[in-house]
Amino acid sequence: DSGVTQTPKHLITATGQRVTLRCSPRSGDLSVYWYQQSLDQGLQFLIQYYNGEERAKGNILERFSAQQFPDLHSELNLSSLELGDSALYFCASSPRARINTGELFFGEGSRLTVL
Amino acid sequence: EDKVVQSPLSLVVHEGDTVTLNCSYEVTNFRSLLWYKQEKKAPTFLFMLTSSGIEKKSGRLSSILDKKELFSILNITATQTGDSAIYLCAVESGYGGSQGNLIFGKGTKLSVKP
């Protein structure tokens, strides 16, 4: 158990809908990262927040948005869903802004299926 | 465009075999290279490499980085069925005080048969 909690574990929805994925980082970790893992693309970095502020942005679509709240939990919002958005979405946390120790703690992921 | 390429994409071996997984990269402003093991869901950290030629070792696993040729290898000796997993290579890139982002390869799926 990494200490990173993601909900829901599984989610099935229809095209055009909107969903929210939630992540609670390890106690004391200030950075939260979101990754998307699909079969053909591997793990793709979406976005990072550090202590409530957006820190880095990767291949995140405009239909997706995220935020980190004062209690450090984070939410990833996916809207106007398309079939291609079906993937495993991981949240990871680390203590600082940079991955100094090289260690990200990953949650178990939220599997999104868009029908 | 930054990229990380892993080979082979999949590998089937028998218990006791030794395997070598490869990771090559092209990134601007390299900071570190990391290996992760993904068994069922969450990737777990194995190694972080920043300097060329220095082997990192943990039990039967070891890894080394070549910053001149831009690659790393992960060796697993005396493989066991519990080593079956997807092994992910990631490179952290970034510059100055900016955050380094992890760019992942697609992974090598290792299957160890009894």
B43 neighbourhood in chain A, CB within 8 Å: 43, 90, 104, 106
The alpha carbon of residue A75 is apart from the nearest alpha carbon of chain B, in Å, by: 18
Q: Which two tokens stand for residue B40?
A: 């069922």
A56 neighbourhood in chain B, CB within 8 Å: 98-99, 101
Task: In whole angstroms, give the CA distance from residue B108 to residue B11.
Answer: 7
Q: What is the DSSP string of B27-75?
A: -SSEEEEEEEEESSSSEEEEEEE-STTPPEEETTEEEEEETTTTEEEEE
Q: What is the pLDDT of residues B65-93, one digit of tens each?
A: 999 999 999 999 999 999 999 999 999 87
Q: What is the pLDDT of residues A26-63, one digit of tens each?
A: 998 999 999 999 877 788 989 999 999 998 888 899 99
> A79 and chain B: CB distance < 8 Å anywhere?
no
The alpha carbon of residue A5 is apart from the nearest alpha carbon of chain B, in Å, by: 11
With cut-offs at 50, 70 and 90, classify the pLDDT of residue A76. Answer: very high
Which candidate, B107, B31, B99, places its Cα nearest to that of B67? Answer: B31
The alpha carbon of residue A56 is apart from the nearest alpha carbon of chain B, in Å, by: 7
Of the candidates B42, B98, B99, the beta carbon closest to that of A106 is on B42
Average pLDDT, chain B: 91
Q: Which two tokens stand for residue A55?
A: 């820190």
> Is the model's pLDDT at B100 over the cut of 70?
no
> Is the model's pLDDT at B29 over the cut of 90?
no
B41 neighbourhood in chain A, CB within 8 Å: 88, 108-109
- The radius of gyration of chain B from alpha carbons, rounded to an integer in Å, stands at 14
B87 neighbourhood in chain A, CB within 8 Å: none
| Residue B101 bridge partners (DSSP) | B93
The alpha carbon of residue A48 is apart from the nearest alpha carbon of chain B, in Å, by: 9
Which candidate, B90, B75, B82, places its Cα nearest to that of B112? Answer: B82
B47 neighbourhood in chain A, CB within 8 Å: 102
Interchain contact, A43 vs B32, CB within 8 Å: no
